[in-house]
Structure 1
Amino acid sequence: MSDSPLNPVPTTRARVVLLSGPSGSGKSSLAERAGLPVLQLDDFYKDGDDPTLPQLPEGGTDWDSPLSWHRAEALAAIRRLVEAGRAEVPVYSIPANGRAGSRVLTLAGAPAFIAEGIFAAELVAQCEAEGLLGDALCLRNRPLTTAWRRLRRDVREARKPIPYLLHRGWRLMRAERGIVARQVALGAHACAGPEAARRVHQVAAHRPAPQALTA
């Protein structure tokens, strides 16, 4: 039997589903409904006093830049989860702009897990190259829908002061199509929630994704 995508070699290793999308697109809600272990990639943000944090032209930290995030640490956690089934991961407090401890994430024999966050697509190429990847998805909605969901969530969770949330929300709504385009260029498949849920289920059932991730 060949090792082609249509005839995958049986394996007991879990595979990761990288779930990206603009802030407020519904990543966390979909991940919770999937019934799989979830690695929250937002927990790998840099602390607010990190001197390497990127800055916005008008001032303030650009938390929507991949440079505000510990990419290598997130990738290392995914490797440990695939190889060992457990990993110690940080717990980040967005209102406090810093880590608030750590926790142990265990797969408990699950065939797949979800790594979700706005920077998930940044890891597609490396995860695919290392044989860790089950699928890479980018949740896509109408920008106004995403903006409303994001604002409700951020106000409910008291993530930042409301003037900051409104300013950031307007900026992200205007940038949303470009954000999705970038994540697709990095290898994520753009789709709405129902299709994403079906594809997550396919990975958990050890079936190949409907489309190749690279040409």
Structure 2
Amino acid sequence: MRAQVIVLAGPSGSGKSRLAARMGLPVLRLDDFYKSGGDPTLPVLTSGANAGMVDWDHAESWLPEDALAALAALCREGRAEVPIYDIAHDGRRGWQVLDLAGSPLFVAEGIFAPDVVRPAREAGLVAAAYCIRRSALRTFWLRLHRDLREHRKPPLVLVRRGLALLRAQRDVVAEAVAKGCEPVGPEEALARVRRLQAGTPR
């Protein structure tokens, strides 16, 4: 085993990507394993203001087996070919090689990160698993600002989705904890990773 993974879970907009960048470790973006927009197996919202649209917050909207395969390859071989996903266009736009360059730790982050914790831990691949939590209102504003800046979807869709996620945030955190993640704030997660880095032989 060449490396182990630090899993970062948490509600959309909780700051997982920014925190991963601050850690200074290679990052596997689990959101790049979304299905493409034309996939007939994508789940659809059946109620609410966005009824009829794809439910991108449903676990069936991504490919966990592909994500786990990439995660395992990184741990065992130190490199893996991973997709490049364009959220604004709901599809992959290519592939790239993620190389750990000898790092004994790397980060895997995304809204479906809790789903990889148990199988990855059973395979001995996990160094730590955290669920990043902030106040629901702060998470709502951070998420909306990011999504508007990146033009991910029309503004009204983003606001409606954001309000639905705000109401569901407590359940999202509880589910992540049930699947093996420790609930911590961003600064606590960063401090724990620094301690892991200090204790990991290179």
- Tell me the TM-score range normalised by the shorter chain: over 0.9
Higher fraction of helix = 2
SS at match of 2:88: coil
Residue 37 of structure 2: which of 48, 54, 57 is its match? 48
Shift of 1:13: 2.1
- Which whole-Å CA distance do the structure 1 matches of 2:126 and 2:169 have between them? 25
Residue 19 of structure 1: which of 8, 20, 35 is its match? 8
Match of 1:103 in 2: 96
Contact 1:111–1:206 (8 Å) recurs in 2:
no
Contact 1:89–1:105 (8 Å) recurs in 2:
yes
Residue 74 of structure 2: which of 60, 67, 81 is its match? 81
Match of 1:204 in 2: 197
Provide the identity percentage.
53
RMSD: 1.0
Number of paired residues? 196
Q: TM-score, normalised by structure 1?
A: 0.89
- Which whole-Å CA distance do the structure 2 matches of 1:156 and 1:134 have between them? 33
SS at match of 2:192: helix
Q: TM-score, normalised by structure 2?
A: 0.95
**Any gaps of 5 or more consecutive residues in structure 1?**
1-11, 208-215
- Which whole-Å CA distance do the structure 1 matches of 2:180 and 2:143 have between them? 24
- Which whole-Å CA distance do the structure 2 matches of 1:131 and 1:187 have between them? 14
Does 2:23 correspond to 1:34? yes
- Which whole-Å CA distance do the structure 2 matches of 1:82 and 1:148 have between them? 35
Match of 2:174 in 1: 181
- In the alignment, residue 141 of structure 1 is paired with which amino acid? R
Match of 1:163 in 2: 156
After superposition, residues 105-184 of structure 1 pair within 5 angstroms as 105-184=98-177
- Which whole-Å CA distance do the structure 2 matches of 1:121 and 1:14 have between them? 19
- Which whole-Å CA distance do the structure 2 matches of 1:64 and 1:193 have between them? 22
Does 2:49 correspond to 1:60? no
- In the alignment, residue 125 of structure 1 is paired with which amino acid? R
- In the alignment, residue 149 of structure 2 is paired with which amino acid? R
Structure 1 ranges of 4+ moved more than 6 A: none
- Which whole-Å CA distance do the structure 1 matches of 2:54 and 2:197 have between them? 37
- Which whole-Å CA distance do the structure 1 matches of 2:199 and 2:32 have between them? 28
- In the alignment, residue 60 of structure 1 is paired with which amino acid? M
Contact 1:111–1:205 (8 Å) recurs in 2:
no
SS at match of 1:110: coil
- Which whole-Å CA distance do the structure 1 matches of 2:124 and 2:199 have between them? 14
Shift of 1:121: 0.8
**Any gaps of 5 or more consecutive residues in structure 2?**
none
- Which whole-Å CA distance do the structure 1 matches of 2:79 and 2:195 have between them? 22
